[in-house]
Amino acid sequence: MEKKKSISREQIIKTTLNLLHDKKELRGVNLREIARTLGCAHTNLYNYFPSFTDLLWATHTALQEVFMMKLKDNLSSATTAEMKLKYFFNTFLQVYLDNTGWFRLAWLEYIGEDRPESDVAATKAASEELNQYVLDIWQELSESKVDNKKVSETMHNTHCYIIGEVSNYISGRGLIENEAEFKNHVVSQAIKILTLCLREE
């Protein structure tokens, strides 16, 4: 009798992330493809996730953790507030453009109506951590005081700008075709938007 291959919830999520990275989109990523990559029957995955939608939500949550780890790592090498702000926004472009499948799942693809509370909590925690990074950097950059509400609103608006630019670029509808030029442009504009909004009375 053939021994059933042992897999874990974490392995399934990691495999899903890898497939999204390789395929650059959600199309072609499904339970059978994930199981084939893991070397097990797709029915085994139901022991961990009741449906493909549940797996996608869990992967969405994991994406936020991966992003925050990359951001923390990138910021650790910055020595000035100006560098930190540049590295901060550069991380968004780096992760989104290097992993367009992740970006699509994070911000573009419809996953399902019943969003798990765990994903809502993870998104809120990541947002608060991002806002704190911005607040800390701003306190190094400027003598002007800003409150948490203003930082949160400004960061939300700036991130929406980045999402829009990246969406246009990966769909082949961007005004700038060269990737390096595109990254530099979006990072500089994001810094400008954030700075102008935080300085605004």
With a cut of 50, say whether residue 186 has pLDDT above it: yes
pLDDT band at 144 (very low <50, low <70, confident <90, very high): confident
Alpha helices of 27-116 — where are they, by DSSP H?
31-38, 52-75, 81-98, 100-103
pLDDT band at 145 (very low <50, low <70, confident <90, very high): confident
Least confident of 2-11, 46-55, 77-86, 102-111: 2-11
Average pLDDT over residues 156-161: 98
Average pLDDT over residues 35-52: 93
Average pLDDT over residues 79-93: 97
The C-alpha angle with vertex 150 and arms to 87 and 168, in degrees rounded to 5, equals 50
Domains of the chain: 62-199 (1.10.357.10)
pLDDT band at 8 (very low <50, low <70, confident <90, very high): very high
Question: Token match 């948490």: residue?
Answer: 148
Q: Mean pLDDT, the chain, as a whole number?
A: 94
Classify burial at 141, counting beta carbons within 10 Å of its beta carbon; exposed 0-12, middle 13-18, buried 19 or more.
Answer: middle
Q: Fill in the DSSP letter of residue 29.
A: -
Question: Token match 């998104």: residue?
Answer: 123
With a cut of 50, say whether residue 2 has pLDDT above it: no
- What pLDDT, on a 0 to 100 scale, did the predictor assign at position 201? 65
pLDDT band at 15 (very low <50, low <70, confident <90, very high): very high
- What pLDDT, on a 0 to 100 scale, did the predictor assign at position 3? 46
53-83 pLDDT, tens digit each = 999 999 999 999 999 999 999 999 999 999 9
pTM of the model: 0.92
Residue 143 or 54, more confident: 54
Question: Token match 């700036």: residue?
Answer: 158
CB-based contacts of 102-106 (< 8 A; 24+ apart in sequence): 102/17, 102/20, 102/21, 102/63, 102/66, 103/166, 103/170, 104/20, 104/24, 104/25, 104/26, 104/170, 105/20, 105/26, 105/56, 105/59, 105/60, 105/63, 106/60, 106/63, 106/64
Distance CA 128, CA 120 (A): 12
